[in-house]
Amino acid sequence: MGLFNHLTNNSQNPTPQQNSHNEKNGDDQAATAKKNLLTPVHLFSHGSTMMLGEESASASYWAKCGREALANGVEHVVMMGAHWATSLPNTVLISANPTPSKSPVAFVAPHKYKSYALNPDMAFIPAIQSHLSRAGIASKLDHHFDWIHDTYLVLIRMFPSGCPPTTIISANYAYDPHFHVSVGAALRPLRSDKTLFIGSGGSVHNLYRNVWGPMLQHRDNFAQPTPPEPWALDFRQEVIDTFCAGYEQESSPLPKSIPYGREIRSSSRAAPGGGVGGPLLRRKATSLMKHPKYRDAHATDDHFMATMFVAGLCGSVEDVGVEGVLGAEDWELTNMCNSQFTLGGWD
């Protein structure tokens, strides 16, 4: 047998030692791939305070997301809400109160939230600050911050049996969309560290144009005496088109056993590589603030910074192909749209 044939035959019929080595390499690669899997990111609309006390499609979806997080071994939760911001330039604040209280909420029975124990993740703060610092973003600890309903409302619904270790990051009062994208981008590597990121804001959230009568007179936040106005429907559609691009071909009714209605998924053909993640998501999300209906949908910018934060978390070139899902939606006060999005998945 010639040398070439001998080498060829040996390569086609590896020895037991080679087989063992190859299997070990394969196991190591599989373990590395599993370790490097990124957690999904949630973009939630927390709505009015009554979303804490009333049952809704959103509440059911939040609970589902919480069960999935616990089943997949999440160790940290990091949130950016809408009701906390700093005026310090190029800076965010980080919650560092070891025993925070909860700010009271209207129209919700105290027993539904007062006894819920908050769980600040003090040990995880240095990791967050390190990533922000490397990106040139300043951060300061707030040792006196008490948690607000935009975060603990969602946590109670997601994790009713107990709050996981959680850190809250403030917005910045300049409300620069690109700055908040950069905050999310700086923290993106932590998604591989069993960290669940949640942005809590609103798809359509203009308190000046809500219809408050049914809530104030009858404690009915879901009353719709009239349909939502066109400006609210139009901007809601723009947000869906950003996070679930191409969904017309992919949406389908959920099984009747699932209580939160119709799930909308981004089309695999929505962008090169499929999905909605990647640099294009950052551009689309920030451009929403230039939309002609944006100021109708958001009289103030505070409830839209969580959207920028999530776009940064899912806006790397490595996120191209990430799927977007609208898992639930509720309308409150006629014109307030509470859309619940998830980008990415656990598998």
Query: Is residue 243 very low, low, confident or very high in pLDDT (cuts 50, 70, 90)?
Result: very high
Statement: residue 12 has pLDDT above 90: no
* Angstrom distances, CA of residue 173 to CA of 204, 208, 300, 346: 19, 20, 11, 34
Query: Is residue 347 very low, low, confident or very high in pLDDT (cuts 50, 70, 90)?
Result: confident
Instruction: Give tens-digit pLDDT for 178-213.
Output: 999 999 999 999 999 899 999 999 999 999 999 999
Average pLDDT over residues 48-61: 96
pTM, rounded to two decimals: 0.88
Q: Which residues contact 69 (CB under 8 A, 6 or more apart)?
A: 39, 77, 158, 159, 164, 196
Here the tokens at position 15 are 């020895």
Average pLDDT over residues 218-233: 97
Return the sign of the alpha-carbon dihedral for residues 277, 282, 284, 289.
positive
Average pLDDT over residues 219-245: 96
Mean pLDDT (the chain, rounded)? 88
Average pLDDT over residues 37-61: 96
Statement: residue 164 has pLDDT above 80: yes
**What pLDDT shows up at residue 263?**
83
| DSSP-assigned letters across all residues of 251-297 | -EEPPTT-TT-EEEE--TTSSTTSSS-SHHHHHHHHHGGGSTTHHHH
Average pLDDT over residues 219-238: 97
- What does DSSP say about strands 195-201 and 41-45: parallel, antiparallel, or unpaired? parallel
Query: Is residue 148 very low, low, confident or very high in pLDDT (cuts 50, 70, 90)?
Result: very high
**Cα radius of gyration (the chain):** 23
Q: Which fold has domain 39-343?
A: Protocatechuate 4,5-dioxygenase; Chain B (3.40.830)
Instruction: Give tens-digit pLDDT for 173-183.
Output: 999 999 999 99
Q: How far apart are CA 162 and CA 116, in angstroms?
A: 7
Statement: residue 24 has pLDDT above 70: no
